[in-house]
């Protein structure tokens, strides 16, 4: 989908849709490599293989591209998270599938991982609403899993759901950041099972 520069009207031709995606992917790569503030429209256009002016047929400016990244790219990823979770039956399996898919998606697209991690750790007015919405979607999904686990007797009922979900998010976030700082020198997805085992051993029911 593409946007008219003046009024933000959706244009739905296939060719424009393909070019929109190409520009967006190029922007993610440029932002991840250079940092958002240091990146330019010219760099994005060059990476996408289009003229500078073509960018403005789809996006109002650089900030608008960032907003579209959260609206388009991350929505795709979160939709895959939901699909993965819905395939599982019990809460522990759902948590395992969610974490594994999260790490796998970020490993497959390192530029996306860099940009997502960087932008969600700072307050940026341009994409603040989108970041807040994505964070809420993820928190809600984890809350759903934790509450199911408490009902199933797999997760302790005496723990606050808010505390547990932030514990999980913090662990996943730190694993991703550590992998990024290592320049991806190991298999990120391989950390999923050990990480979930650590979560469950810490929040699982006691078998005394």
Cα(200)–Cα(84) distance, rounded to whole angstroms? 19
At residue 181, the pLDDT reads 93
At residue 91, the pLDDT reads 96
Is 206's pLDDT higher than 70? no
pLDDT classification of 1: cutoffs 50, 70, 90: very low
Tokens 């929109």 locate to 20
Q: What is the pLDDT of residues 81-114, one digit of tens each?
A: 999 999 999 999 999 999 999 999 999 999 999 9
Architecture of domain 62-208: Orthogonal Bundle (1.10)
Cα(94)–Cα(142) distance, rounded to whole angstroms? 9
Q: What is the pLDDT of residues 107-149, one digit of tens each?
A: 999 999 999 888 887 655 566 777 778 888 889 999 999 999 9
pTM listed for this prediction = 0.81
Spell out the residues 6+ positions from residue 51 whose beta carbon is closer than 8 angstroms to its own: 45
In this structure, are residues 113 and 106 in contact, taking their beta carbons and an 8 Å threshold? yes
At residue 127, the pLDDT reads 67
Burial of 151 (0-12, 13-18, 19+ CB in 10 A): exposed
Instruction: Enumerate long-range contacts of 103-109, CB under 8 Å, 24 or more apart.
Output: 103/172, 103/175, 103/176, 103/188, 103/189, 103/191, 103/192, 104/188, 104/189, 104/192, 105/77, 105/80, 105/81, 106/176, 106/188, 107/179, 107/184, 107/187, 107/188, 107/189
Is 174's pLDDT higher than 50? yes
pLDDT classification of 3: cutoffs 50, 70, 90: very low
Q: What is the pLDDT of residues 31-54, one digit of tens each?
A: 999 999 999 999 999 999 999 999
Cα(2)–Cα(159) distance, rounded to whole angstroms? 46
pLDDT classification of 9: cutoffs 50, 70, 90: very low
- CATH code given to domain 1-60: 1.10.10.60
At residue 8, the pLDDT reads 38
Q: Which residue ranges make up each domain of the chain? A: 1-60, 62-208
Closest CA to 145 of 159, 173, 164, 170: 164
């Amino acid at each position: 989908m593409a946007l008219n520069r003046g009024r933000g009207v959706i244009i739905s031709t296939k060719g424009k849709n393909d070019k929109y995606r190409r520009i967006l992917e190029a922007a993610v790569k440029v932002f991840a490599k250079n940092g958002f503030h240091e990146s330019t429209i010219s760099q994005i256009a060059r990476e996408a293989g289009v003229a500078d002016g073509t960018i403005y047929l789809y996006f109002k400016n650089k900030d608008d591209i960032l907003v579209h990244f959260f609206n388009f790219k991350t929505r795709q990823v979160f939709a895959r998270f939901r699909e993965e979770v819905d395939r599982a039956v019990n809460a522990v399996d759902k948590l395992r599938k969610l974490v594994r898919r999260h790490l796998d998606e970020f490993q497959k697209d390192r530029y996306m991982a860099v940009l997502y991690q960087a932008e969600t750790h700072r307050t940026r007015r341009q994409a603040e609403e989108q970041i807040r919405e994505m964070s809420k979607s993820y928190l809600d999904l984890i809350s759903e899993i934790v509450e199911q686990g408490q009902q199933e007797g797999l997760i302790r009922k005496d723990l606050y759901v808010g505390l547990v979900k932030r514990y999980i998010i913090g662990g996943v976030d730190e694993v991703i950041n550590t992998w990024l700082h290592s320049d991806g020198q190991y298999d990120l997805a391989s950390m999923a099972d050990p990480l979930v085992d650590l979560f469950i051993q810490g929040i699982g029911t006691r078998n005394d």
